[in-house]
Amino acid sequence: MSNLPSLELQGHAEQVLADRVMLVQLPEPYPDELLYSVIGRYMAHLRLQRDRARSALFGHRAKPQIGLPGCLGELADRTSLSWGKTAKQIAYELTLFPYFACYLNKSRVSQCLACMAECSPSSVYARLGASSATIASRRYLAFCMQCREEDMSLYGETYWRRCHQLPGTFVCTRHEQVLSYIELPESNRFWRYMDATECTSELCDPIMSDLGSKASIAFAIAKRSCDLLRGTELVWSKDGIVEQYRAAILNQGSTYRLGMISYPDLEAAITSYYSESFLSLLGCELIGRDSWLRKALEPSRFTVRHPLRHILLQLFLEQHSQQASVLARHSRASWQCPNPYFQHEQIYTMRLHVGKARTDGVRSISAWCPCGMRFTFSRVSVSNPNLPVIDTVRRFAPSWADKLRELRASGIRIREIASLMKLPFASVKTLLSNAEPVLGLESRKLMLRARWEECLSEVPDRSRNLARRRNKSLYAELAVIDPEWLSATGTRLNRRRSMTDEQWRVRDREWAERLRATADRLLEAGSSRRVSASSIVLAAGLKLWVFSKLHHLPQCKVVLSRGA
Ligand SMILES: [Zn+2]
Ligand SMILES: [Zn+2]
């Protein structure tokens, strides 16, 4: 025992070490805490000299490792009294190992565990596919400001969480907030265990100032990364993962040709889904013939794939298969309105319209409901395949808007309301910050009726068809919320029955008046230019078939021949 370093420790730990030099009393880890963080707290509490403490923990002066530390066997022995965890337990509970090991085969996992129990962390990185050759490891420690606040009030200190240090994770999944970060010192020589409470006491920068349109994707990546770390609720089971991917691509169809995956098509689709800049931010660009995607889909059990690439591929395939199934049955299925605050007489009364594909390849479906709800969706609820999950709210139903205002007035935060109601945050925020109230269904009906009447008065013969073409969205909404009234308004020309002479005379008088006014207006506007008869007709809002009916319209004929 004489070769063990003499320790300058204080307090309780000193007492323990004096009795049994081999043992170390590390603090109890908090939920999801990194081993690195536990050691950081331990050293800050005791104000230890860093080299001595490291030797005391690992048996030699090991370099601090954040995600995948080595020498866990030694550490397990030395903490046996306080923790009683094996090296394997420490690897699974206090390091990022389970995240990297999630989709590895069993023999590879036990190899890596053996490496971590011994003192060769660098070989672990390579074996797990986590070496800097694949995706550069982070040069910073990340944390969430809100998690920190909660920790401080709960424990009086904070700590580094495992889920915040995962590659590609930019947001806290609990608070849906962009993480802040502390840079690591440049040189390895100065590396020490950084205590979270001490390092984050001053204001820190967020990793990214604004995620913009990538916010939902960044959240999905963070969420999936957490799931891999905890090994729970895996959407894609661990066995035969490559076969699952290939089957999903086959089902998707568009990038599968003549029995082979068309890599250029698939790569283009993935790049447009995530955008090139976002992929390069993650270190996952799809460039060249040996891109990671091709390796990921190679049916070889020796290929090691970085978990982040699994995640990117999974999220892409899920989005597209969900969307494909929604699109495939959009016209056949009966869709349920997601507004729970309106007594729908029939549940399935929504009208749907499939939009053009956006730049990222997603096609959203717009839906109108008689309750006043108007929204787009591209996914359905997991529990009920007839219930759409709202992407954006175009217009809130009055009943739902009232409920949201009520919740807000009772002091609940907008973000909580949005997550409670499974609504997009932006839509709720817009509604609540909008000063002017959403009209009740009845008053909205009256407003739309007035606008429709105005529209009818502007078209010849109060033709419903012409008015509809002038204002399609107005017509579409009325057709949903007030169909009977709408069908009773205006006139519908019956092509088969010819018009009576009296009707022609009335029309001739009206149209001639209209054409004369238009011709005068046009001549005034451009006095030097000749105005053609057809431009007068069009400017008056009439159709060119007027010319073939001039024998019925003598007054119009006079006006047009004079103007031309
Ligand atoms: Zn948080
Ligand atoms: Zn509805």
User: What would the pLDDT profile of 359-381 be if each residue is shown by its tens digit?
Assistant: 555 667 888 888 888 888 877 77
Sequence-distant (6+) residues with CB within 8 A of 21 are 1, 4, 7
If you measure from the C-alpha of residue 97 to the centroid of ligand 1, how many angstroms do you get, rounded to a whole number? 22
Give 384 or 257, the one with higher predicted confidence.
Answer: 384
The pLDDT score that the predictor gives to residue 187 is 63
Summarize pLDDT for 399-456 with one digit per residue, the tens: 888 888 888 888 888 888 888 888 888 888 888 887 666 677 788 888 889 999 988 8
From the CA of 129, how far away is ligand 1's center (Å)? 28
Question: If you average pLDDT over each of 43-47, 85-89, 190-194, 396-400, which comes out highest?
Answer: 85-89
Report which bound ligand comes closest to the CA of 179.
1
- Per-residue pLDDT, 20: 47
- How many Å lie between the centroid of ligand 1 and the Cα of residue 175? 5
In the prediction, which pLDDT does 223 show?
Answer: 92
Q: Which ligand has the shortest distance to the CA of 174?
A: 1
pLDDT at 469: 85
Taking the CA of 387 as reference, the closest ligand is: 2
- Sign of dihedral through CA atoms 3, 9, 15, 16? negative
State the burial class of residue 130 (Cβ atoms within 10 Å of its Cβ: 0-12, 13-18, 19+): buried
Q: Which residue has the higher pLDDT, 32 or 188?
A: 32
For the chain, percent of residues with pLDDT exceeding 70: 82
| Ligand 1 centroid, distance to 148 Cα (angstroms) | 7
pLDDT tier at 358, thresholds 50, 70, 90:
low
Alpha helices in 47-136 (DSSP H): 50-58, 72-78, 87-94, 97-101, 106-117, 121-127
Between residues 83 and 18, which one has the greater pLDDT?
83
3-state secondary structure of 197: helix
- In the DSSP assignment, the letter for residue 422 is T
Give me the phi and psi of 107, to 5 degrees please.
-65, -35
ipTM (interface pTM)? 0.64
Does the pLDDT value for residue 62 go beyond 60? yes
| Residues 90, 65 contacting (CB under 8 angstroms) | no
Q: Summarize pLDDT for 460-474 with one digit per residue, the tens.
A: 788 888 888 888 888
Report the separation in Å between the CA atom of 215 and the middle of ligand 2, taken as the mean of its atom positions: 28
Q: How far is the CA of 470 from the centre of ligand 2 (A)?
A: 26
| The two structure tokens encoding residue 124 | 């672990």
Average pLDDT over the chain, rounded to an integer: 81
Average pLDDT in the 155-170 region? Answer: 94
pLDDT above 90 as % of the chain: 15
Q: What is the CA(469)–ligand 2 centre distance, in A?
A: 26
What string of DSSP letters covers 500-538?
PHHHHHHHHHHHHHHHHHHHHHHHHHTTTS---HHHHHH
